[in-house]
């Protein structure tokens, strides 16, 4: 085998230099001539009927651009899965951050005063904040029954098992909301006028989502709407669907302002309280095991709080439901999943997309079950882990040679599990207040869109030879820190056998790049990377057939062939479109078949120290061991895992969204607690490389995987430290742990 030129090498991030020098241009760094600033007036009432809008005294209102729902030229609702969420409320208010009025002015200070001087007359209706109350239809606030989506996955017959099973273990698990907390808040700049159409520059993950929403909002054809991604300071799903709203708002203001550019950039608090967060969840699991610990049945009820509008909830629910059974072989499985409405701002995409919720439940449950049955959690897992040839809950046969018991062993070895276990036994037997524990979680994450999502998208990406002899990558996939620019360049440069400097990724701009689909679902490397790889093969073929490129060649030779070709033929482009691999079959109605073309697999193991005086859980050591196919760029891949684990630790222990009447009450970095460099240990990352034949260079997707494992691993470690399986809800904040232990009289002298 020829050694790879770029694949597997830690190439420096393409746009890295611009980032370390501060030259990279983010949305808020752009100023245009005659630009106005825009702000949003929001409902503040969780549910009601809008009766009137009053513009208070003392503000020169005639200087302001004012937009309400009545100014919308086209479709009032955002075009996504369903069209139920209005850009601006017309009469109904469904959550406390509902946008109602937009204002623009050149003076930002005056604008803030004006925002406070708008009074909304809203007749309140009884709101619904509680997921269980929504499921029970205490009020009906959406559709017939508050349900955005129901899914049933059935395999075998769970009810045939309970009576004869040696063990039946039940448990309920809850996960809280979580804020993406990208350090760059959401923002957009728009220029809109009747003749030219609409152009938007923004911080966003999915240019074509915004494009679709703006076309409907303004009733314009494809070529009259242009969406350009600026450098994006983190997304994590939080800039997946929300940018359509901000872009629409800025564009509505610009249109009314006669085409003057309008910039809307949220401040931190508005970004935290008004934009999407992770869906809170509740999972009930009933499981049956035989005397040896073999899993006989899993009956799972999985529920998500979707907030006020449907947005992406059906797809989040779908991924959550499919992952709910974990990486286990279980002959009888029933998974009932529902996403229900409440009067809070809509919950949306966040790295992991439903899987962190359901995997938390199953991985926590396995340790709860082990304790109840008196089994070792490692032995219990090994008894049940999926192997090649086994079927998942949806009946997907595992066709790759995955060694999950091996992955588990490797992770525990790296953690030094046995030696630490013995030390802890001695340490915890002493009377000191610090108790130590070890825990792990073993899990998978489906790569790419769920089910028929990828074939439905039919993404296109391409490459283009340029007059300067370089090759440009054409894709709508955005760089938001995860390394898309670099990875796509490496894949193309590998095919073309040229130095990395010969390949550039074009800034996603709907006027210039094809729709390679949204930048979500761990799909950019695996799916879009494959498309640009195929396109590059096509481009190279064209050059060879034309006679301009003679093999073997060097970088110089390649670029002069490109120049010659273009001198003769004007342009040199090659595209490729997604085709589902032939052996992949999925039934959307029955939820049966190959839910994903492949999975990434992992085992994460953690050591914690629990302070029984302050109830703080400190992460002392963390090992992240995974199989993600071939690693294309080790530094970038490690960076993705480390960052994801840090977010996962926050999800498990500290990042609590406090709700008050449907509104996030702690929308500041001071009281929403994410980790600083002092709070987390060095995350030890290991890869087992098992090239995946359908991925470019053997790669699978890995971006979301690290979000799934930390929370269950940490709570399992807390169980080990304290000898109680009580913690079942995240985040496990000190207050929550204190309450739990109080309830159990854990600190009574006899128990210490």
Partner 1 sequence: MARLLDVIREDLELTGTKEGCGEGECGACSVILNGKLVNSCLVPAVQAEGAELRTIEGVASDEQLHSVQESFLHCGGAQCGICTPGMVMAAVDLLKRCPHPDEAQIRDGLAGNLCRCTGYGKIVDSVAQAAERAIQVAEESRS
Q: How many CB atoms lie within 10 A of CB 418?
A: 11
Least distance in angstroms from the C-beta of 644 to ligand FES? 13
* 12 near ligand FES, judged by CB under 6 A: no
Q: Which residue has 């629409």 as its token pair?
A: 248
Residue closer to ligand FES (CB basis): 354 or 481: 481
Residue closer to ligand FES (CB basis): 183 or 658: 183
- 190 and 253 Cβ atoms separated by less than 8 Å: yes
Least distance in angstroms from the C-beta of 605 to ligand FES? 26
Backbone angles phi, psi at 333, to 5 degrees: -135, 135
* 48 near partner 1, judged by CB under 8 A: no
Cα(653)–Cα(317) distance, integer angstroms: 23
Residues 235-254 touching partner 1, rule: CB under 8 A, are 235-236
* 643 near partner 1, judged by CB under 8 A: yes
Residues 190-219 touching partner 1, rule: CB under 8 A, are none
Tokens of 638: 């490690």
Task: Please say whether the dihedral angle defined by the alpha carbons of residues 314, 320, 323 and 325, taken in this order, is positive or negative.
Answer: negative
Least distance in angstroms from the C-beta of 96 to partner 1? 22
Least distance in angstroms from the C-beta of 231 to partner 1? 7
Residue closer to partner 1 (CB basis): 19 or 568: 19
Least distance in angstroms from the C-beta of 604 to partner 1? 13
User: Using CB under 6 A as the criterion, what x/- string covers residues 463-482 for binding ligand FES?
Assistant: ------------------x-
Cα(454)–Cα(598) distance, integer angstroms: 13
By CB under 8 A, name the one of 231, 299, 515, 688 that touches partner 1.
Answer: 231
Contacts of 552 (CB under 8 A, 6+ apart): none
Tokens of 689: 């490389």
Cα(299)–Cα(159) distance, integer angstroms: 9
Residue closer to partner 1 (CB basis): 22 or 749: 22
By CB under 8 A, name the one of 188, 398, 441, 645 that touches partner 1.
Answer: 645
Question: 308: which DSSP letter?
Answer: S
HEC string for 636-659: HHHHHHHHHHHHHHHHHHCCCCCE
By CB under 8 A, name the one of 64, 87, 142, 182 that touches partner 1.
Answer: 182
CA 621 distance to own-chain centroid: 25
Burial zone of 219 (CB within 10 Å; 0-12 exposed, 13-18 middle, 19+ buried): exposed
Residues 167-186 touching ligand FES, rule: CB under 6 A, are 183
* 185 near partner 1, judged by CB under 8 A: yes
Residue closer to partner 1 (CB basis): 255 or 605: 605
* Cross-strand bridge partners of residue 85: none
By CB under 8 A, name the one of 86, 99, 202, 234 that touches partner 1.
Answer: 234
Cα(649)–Cα(679) distance, integer angstroms: 10
The alpha helices in 313-403, defined as continuous H runs, are 313-323, 355-373, 377-384
Q: What is the distance in angstroms between the CA of the first residue and the CA of the last residue of the chain?
A: 61
Residue closer to partner 1 (CB basis): 32 or 567: 32
Nearest by Cα to 637 from 571, 725, 703: 703
The alpha helices in 476-620, defined as continuous H runs, are 484-496, 529-545, 555-569
- Residue 28 interacts with, from partner 1, ligand FES, none (CB under 5-8 Å by kind): partner 1
- Residue 554 interacts with, from ligand FES, partner 1, none (CB under 5-8 Å by kind): none
Distances (CA, A) of 169 to 165, 323, 370: 10, 19, 9
Residue closer to partner 1 (CB basis): 367 or 638: 638
User: How many residues interact with ligand FES (rule CB under 6 A)?
Assistant: 3
Tokens of 131: 């997921």
Tokens of 745: 């009289």
Nearest residue to ligand FES, scored by beta-carbon proximity: 183
Q: What region, left, alpha or beta, does residue 481 occupy, with left being phi > 0 and alpha being psi -120 to 50 degrees?
A: left
Tokens of 537: 């093969």
Per the omega criterion (within 30 degrees of 0), is the bond before 247 cis?
no
Least distance in angstroms from the C-beta of 184 to partner 1? 4
Angle at 221 between CA 218 and CA 227, to 5 degrees: 75
* 234 near ligand FES, judged by CB under 6 A: yes
* 724 near partner 1, judged by CB under 8 A: no
Least distance in angstroms from the C-beta of 259 to ligand FES? 32
- Residue 160 interacts with, from ligand FES, partner 1, none (CB under 5-8 Å by kind): none
* 508 near ligand FES, judged by CB under 6 A: no
Residue closer to partner 1 (CB basis): 98 or 504: 504
- 86 and 69 Cβ atoms separated by less than 8 Å: yes
* 28 near partner 1, judged by CB under 8 A: yes
Least distance in angstroms from the C-beta of 349 to ligand FES? 18
Least distance in angstroms from the C-beta of 479 to ligand FES? 11
Cα(641)–Cα(704) distance, integer angstroms: 9
* 720 near partner 1, judged by CB under 8 A: no
Residue closer to ligand FES (CB basis): 480 or 536: 480
- Residue 231 interacts with, from partner 1, ligand FES, none (CB under 5-8 Å by kind): partner 1
* 695 near ligand FES, judged by CB under 6 A: no
User: Using CB under 8 A as the criterion, what x/- string covers residues 264-283 for binding partner 1?
Assistant: ---xx---------------
Residue closer to partner 1 (CB basis): 18 or 585: 18
- Residue 668 interacts with, from partner 1, ligand FES, none (CB under 5-8 Å by kind): partner 1
Cα(745)–Cα(752) distance, integer angstroms: 10
- 296 and 332 Cβ atoms separated by less than 8 Å: yes
Backbone angles phi, psi at 319, to 5 degrees: -65, -40
Q: Which stretch binds partner 1 (CB under 8 A): 28-36, 306-314, 381-389, 600-608?
A: 28-36
Residues 663-682 touching partner 1, rule: CB under 8 A, are 668-670, 674-678, 680, 682
Cα(617)–Cα(267) distance, integer angstroms: 32
* 16 near partner 1, judged by CB under 8 A: yes
Residue ranges binding ligand FES (CB under 6 A): 183, 234, 481
Residue ranges binding partner 1 (CB under 8 A): 10, 12-13, 15-26, 28-29, 31, 180-185, 231-236, 267-268, 480-483, 635-636, 638-639, 642-647, 668-670, 674-678, 680, 682-683
């Amino acid at each position: 085998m020829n050694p790879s030129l770029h694949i597997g090498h830690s190439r420096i991030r393409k746009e890295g230099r611009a980032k370390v020098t501060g030259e990279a241009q983010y949305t808020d760094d752009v100023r245009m001539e005659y630009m106005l600033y825009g702000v949003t007036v929001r409902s503040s009432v969780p549910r009601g009927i809008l009766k009137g809008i009053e513009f208070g005294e003392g503000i020169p209102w005639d200087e302001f651009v004012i937009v309400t729902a009545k100014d919308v030229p086209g479709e009032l609702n955002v075009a996504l899965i369903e069209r139920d969420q209005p850009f601006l409320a017309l009469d109904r208010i469904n959550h406390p951050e509902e946008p109602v009025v937009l204002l623009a002015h050149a003076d930002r200070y005056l604008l803030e005063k004006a925002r406070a001087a708008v009074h909304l007359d809203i007749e309140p209706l009884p709101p619904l904040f509680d997921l269980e109350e929504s499921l029970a239809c205490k009020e009906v606030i959406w559709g017939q029954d508050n349900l955005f989506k129901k899914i049933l996955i059935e395999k075998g017959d769970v009810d045939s098992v309970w009576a004869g099973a040696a063990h039946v273990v039940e448990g309920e698990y809850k996960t809280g909301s979580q804020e993406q907390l990208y350090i760059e808040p959401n923002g957009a700049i728009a220029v809109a006028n009747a003749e030219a159409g609409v152009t938007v520059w923004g911080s966003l993950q999915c240019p074509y989502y915004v494009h679709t929403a703006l076309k409907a909002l303004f009733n314009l054809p494809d070529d009259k709407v242009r969406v350009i991604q600026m450098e994006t300071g983190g997304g994590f799903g939080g800039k997946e669907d929300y940018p359509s709203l901000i872009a629409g708002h800025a564009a509505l203001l610009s249109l009314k302002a006669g085409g003057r550019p309008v910039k809307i950039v949220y401040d931190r608090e508005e970004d935290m309280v008004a934009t999407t967060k992770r869906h809170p969840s509740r999972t009930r699991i009933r499981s049956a095991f035989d005397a040896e610990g073999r899993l006989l049945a899993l009956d799972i009820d999985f529920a998500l709080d979707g907030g006020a509008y449907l947005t992406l909830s059906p797809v989040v629910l779908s991924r959550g439901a499919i992952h709910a059974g974990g990486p286990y072989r279980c002959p009888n499985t029933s998974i009932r999943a529902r996403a229900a409405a409440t009067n809070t701002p809509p919950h949306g995409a966040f790295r992991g997309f439903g899987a962190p919720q359901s995997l938390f439940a199953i991985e926590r449950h396995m340790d709860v079950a082990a304790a109840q049955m008196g089994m070792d959690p490692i032995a219990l897992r090994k008894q049940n882990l999926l192997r090649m040839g086994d079927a998942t809950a949806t009946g997907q046969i595992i066709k790759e040679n995955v060694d999950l018991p091996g992955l588990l062993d490797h992770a525990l070895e790296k953690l030094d599990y046995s030696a630490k276990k013995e030390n802890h036994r001695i340490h915890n037997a002493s009377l000191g207040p610090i108790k130590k524990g070890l825990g792990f979680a073993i899990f998978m994450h489906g790569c790419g869109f769920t089910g028929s999502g990828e074939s439905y998208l039919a993404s296109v990406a391409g490459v283009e030879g340029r007059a300067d002899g370089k090759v440009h990558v054409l894709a709508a996939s955005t760089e938001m820190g995860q390394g898309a620019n670099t990875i796509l360049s490496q894949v193309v440069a590998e095919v073309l056998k040229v130095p990395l400097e010969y390949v550039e990724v074009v800034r996603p701009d709907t006027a210039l790049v094809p729709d390679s689909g949204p930048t979500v679902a761990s799909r950019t490397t695996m799916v879009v990377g494959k498309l640009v790889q195929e396109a590059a093969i096509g481009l190279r073929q064209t050059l060879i057939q034309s006679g301009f490129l003679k093999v073997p060649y060097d970088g110089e030779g390649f670029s002069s062939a490109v120049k010659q070709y273009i001198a003769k033929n004007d342009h040199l482009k090659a595209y490729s479109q997604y085709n589902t691999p032939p052996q992949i079959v999925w039934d959307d109605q029955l939820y049966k078949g190959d839910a994903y073309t492949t999975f990434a697999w992992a085992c994460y193991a953690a050591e914690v120290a629990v302070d029984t005086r302050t109830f703080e859980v400190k992460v002392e050591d963390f090992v992240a061991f995974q199989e993600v196919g071939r690693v294309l760029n080790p530094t970038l891949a490690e960076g993705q895992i480390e960052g994801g684990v840090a977010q996962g630790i926050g999800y498990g222990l500290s990042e609590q969204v406090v709700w008050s009447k449907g509104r996030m009450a702690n929308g500041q970095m001071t009281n929403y607690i994410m980790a600083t460099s002092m709070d987390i240990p060095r995350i030890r990352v290991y890869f087992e490389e098992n090239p995946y034949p359908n991925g470019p260079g053997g790669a699978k997707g890995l971006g979301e995987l690290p979000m799934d494992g930390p929370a269950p691993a940490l709570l399992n470690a807390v169980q080990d430290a304290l000898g109680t399986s009580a913690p079942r809800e995240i985040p496990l904040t000190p207050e929550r742990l204190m309450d739990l232990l109080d309830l159990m009289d854990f600190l009574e002298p006899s128990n210490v």
